[in-house]
Amino acid sequence: MKILITGVSGGIGLYLVRAFRGEEVWGLARRNPPAKVCSNFSACDVSQWRAVEGVATEVRATWKHLDAIIHCAGTQGAVGEAMTVDPTEWANTVRSNIEGAYFILRAFFPLLGSTQSRSKVILFSGGGASKPRPNFSAYGCAKTALVRLVETLAEEWKQFPIDINIVAPGAINTAMTREVISLGPAKSGREEYARATKQLDSGGDSIENVEVMIRFLLSRQSDGITGRFLSAQWDRIEQLLPARDSLAMSDLYTLRRVASEACKADASPTNHARLDASLTRSHGIAVNESFCHCWLRTHRT
């Protein structure tokens, strides 16, 4: 396979580029990765359109198609309570994460879908995409936006042989984890600081589970699964496979606002329990929020 992977200088990107050494991999990052981890490498700030466009021209001169794009690059950026962080830094965090993903897809789109096999595009969400994450509002907003971008592109690309999905990797120990700790509880928040400290000590979630999910999404087995928000730690491939053909007609593994007409008039605990039981029976959705009008990542229980 010919795979473009961004963010290969560290974290999940570096792990994946090593995991796919047997494939033809073109890595992108602002900093050089360890020597000889991928067959091709270009230094690139993915939040700069001209830089991405230039690298795309370079890649097109060597490769006539791409089998897959795995976009790992991202920045945690502005950390702190939203009303106290520098507004320009906050905006730049949102912008660089969203623009980085969009610029990569926009520049390399012509190389996708040009082979007999379906091309695969995989993005990563992060903490704050599926639920509030105090003190990380910019990063959370950007990652939520990427979830919606993936779903929208899946609709726009229906006529093309391309599957695009976004993966929540889980609590993986990376430089972002260490940054949360180095910033201290005053900026990161006490709960986040404690969680990151415990995560770093315990080893965090399994990065091998991330690789398993990525390999599945790159495989022919996943053909037709597109526009989905998947958890590397909690979603099981054996559950995805039987539902593959019906997913396009459902809201499973997406972000949706779930509301009940009854809840609008009666938001009592009894009514909420009734809604929870109803959704679990009909859609396999577990509603854990304490109110009736909510956004959640719908999934099978």
CATH label of the domain that carries residue 145: 3.40.50.720
140 within some domain:
yes
128 within some domain:
yes
Number of domains in the chain: 2
Residues 166 and 259 in one domain: no
Residues 281 and 244 in one domain: no
Residues 232 and 284 in one domain: no
Residues 155 and 298 in one domain: no
Q: What's the confidence (pLDDT) of residue 283?
A: 47
Residues 281 and 140 in one domain: no
Residues 283 and 233 in one domain: no
Task: Tell me the pTM.
Answer: 0.87
Burial of 58 (0-12, 13-18, 19+ CB in 10 A): middle
One-letter amino acid identity for 236?
A: R
Q: How confident is the model at residue 288 (pLDDT cuts 50, 70, 90)?
A: very low
296 within some domain:
yes
Residues 61 and 120 in one domain: yes
193 within some domain:
no
pLDDT tens digits, 218-258: 999 999 999 999 999 999 999 898 888 888 888 899 988 87
Q: How confident is the model at residue 266 (pLDDT cuts 50, 70, 90)?
A: low
Kindly report the backbone phi and psi dihedral angles of residue 11, in degrees, each rounded to the nearest multiple of 5, phi listed first: 60, -145
155 within some domain:
yes
60 within some domain:
yes
Residues 139 and 31 in one domain: yes
- CA–CA gap between residue 38 and residue 16 (Å, rounded): 10
Residues 270 and 136 in one domain: no
Q: What is the CA radius of gyration of the chain?
A: 20
Q: How confident is the model at residue 269 (pLDDT cuts 50, 70, 90)?
A: low
301 within some domain:
yes
Residues 211 and 288 in one domain: no
Residue that finishes a domain, picked among 253, 274, 290: 253
149 within some domain:
yes
Q: What's the confidence (pLDDT) of residue 268?
A: 52
Residues 209 and 281 in one domain: no
Percentage of the chain exceeding pLDDT 90: 73
pLDDT tens digits, 147-184: 999 999 999 999 999 999 999 999 999 999 999 999 99
Residue 300 belongs to domain spanning: 255-301
Residues 144 and 273 in one domain: no
